[in-house]
Amino acid sequence: MKYAGFWRRFGAFWADTIILTPWMWGVGYFLSEKSRLFNLYFFIPGLLFGWWFYVYLVAKHGGTPGKLLLKIRIAMADGSSVTYRAAAIRYSVLFALSTLSSLAVLIGTLKMTDAQYFSLDYLARSRMTLELAPHWYTTISVLLQIWIWGEFVTMLLNKKRRAAHDFMAGTIVIRRDTDAAVPPAEGA
């Protein structure tokens, strides 16, 4: 097996970011201009979208679109296809921190009245939302950044370029040109 290198994995992260940004920011911006309660309405669908993107696509296709574009895939440590359980474990920390961050933003938004909300432009509204968010939002935001960048540091410190979530889930990321000899996973 050829392990995916650091730069390929780093590129896949940014490819996913580029793929998700228009959807998340575009839809979020447009709909938040229409309703103060957008964050409330989008909370559960947003969580489900994250689960679909980072768990379902990983278990079903071996990776997120960014990984697949860069010709790498997630596999179990023995090279077999990644399981749904392993995909869920890989996503668990990011899911928990993202959920808490979204919840804090939702709480901040709900503390505003419609008149306050719509009197502000997008950037001022965003600042006000974060000012009204619970005090733990800052801690969650810092932890989220530490987790994301810590993943890259972890990849630099081992020869298989495994991130912390790979160690947690028993997975590796390999180049797709090694797929010919990969046995299918049980139950996948």
pLDDT score at 42: 87
pLDDT score at 180: 47
Segment (H or E) for 171: strand 171-175
CA gap 116, 146 in Å, rounded: 33
* Side-chain half-sphere exposure of 73, counting CA atoms within 13 A: 20
pLDDT score at 184: 53
How many residues in total does the chain contain?
A: 188
pLDDT score at 60: 97
pLDDT score at 24: 75
Per-residue pLDDT of the chain (188 residues; tens, 9 = 90+): 899 999 999 999 999 999 888 877 777 777 788 888 888 888 999 899 999 999 999 999 999 999 999 999 999 999 999 999 999 999 999 999 999 999 999 999 999 999 999 999 989 999 999 999 999 999 999 999 999 999 999 999 999 999 999 999 999 999 987 554 445 555 54
pLDDT score at 187: 52
Domain boundaries, the chain: 6-178
**CB-count exposure of residue 113 (10 Å: 0-12, 13-18, 19+):** exposed
Identify the three-state secondary structure at position 172: strand
